[in-house]
Amino acid sequence: MSIAFLNDSYIPITEAKISPLDRGFLFGDGIYEVIPSYQGKLLGFKAHIDRMLDGLSGIGLKLNWSHSDWQDMCEKLAVQNGNGNLGIYLQVSRGADIKRYHAFPEAVSPTVFGFTFDIPSPPVADKNRAKSYTVSTSEDLRWQRCHIKSTALLGNVLHFQEGYDQGNDETLLYNKRNELTEASACNAFIVKDGVVITPPLGNQLLPGITRNMLVDILRKDGSINVEERVVTMEEVRGADEVWITSSTKEIGAVVSVDDAPVGDGKIGDVWLAAQALFSSHKYDY
Point out which residues bind ligand PLP (CB under 6 A).
156, 182, 185-187, 206, 208-211, 245-247
**CB 183 → ligand PLP: shortest distance, Å?**
7
Q: Is 33 exposed, middle or buried (0-12, 13-18, 19+ CB in 10 A)?
A: buried
d(CA 218, CA 45): 20
For ligand PLP, give the closer residue by CB, 93 or 248. Answer: 248
d(CA 114, CA 49): 13
User: In 3D, which of 179, 180, 157 has the Cα closest to residue 170?
Assistant: 157
**CB 49 → ligand PLP: shortest distance, Å?**
12
d(CA 244, CA 250): 8
**CB 187 → ligand PLP: shortest distance, Å?**
5
For ligand PLP, give the closer residue by CB, 56 or 96. Answer: 56
- CA dihedral (161, 162, 167, 169) positive or negative: negative
Q: What is the 3-state secondary structure (H, E, C) of 259-270?
A: CEECCCCCCCHH
For ligand PLP, give the closer residue by CB, 138 or 246. Answer: 246
User: What φ, ψ does residue 115 adopt, rounded to 5°?
Assistant: -150, 170
**CB 156 → ligand PLP: shortest distance, Å?**
6
**CB 108 → ligand PLP: shortest distance, Å?**
27
d(CA 161, CA 165): 6
Q: Which one from 17, 76, 127, 149 is the annotated catalytic residue?
A: 149
Cα dist. 284→82, 119, 226 in Å? 24, 21, 19
User: In 3D, which of 222, 231, 213 has the Cα closest to residue 285?
Assistant: 213
Q: Does 176 qualify as catalytic in the annotation?
A: no
Provide the residue count of the chain. Answer: 285
For ligand PLP, give the closer residue by CB, 78 or 185. Answer: 185
For ligand PLP, give the closer residue by CB, 96 or 204. Answer: 204
Active site residues: 149
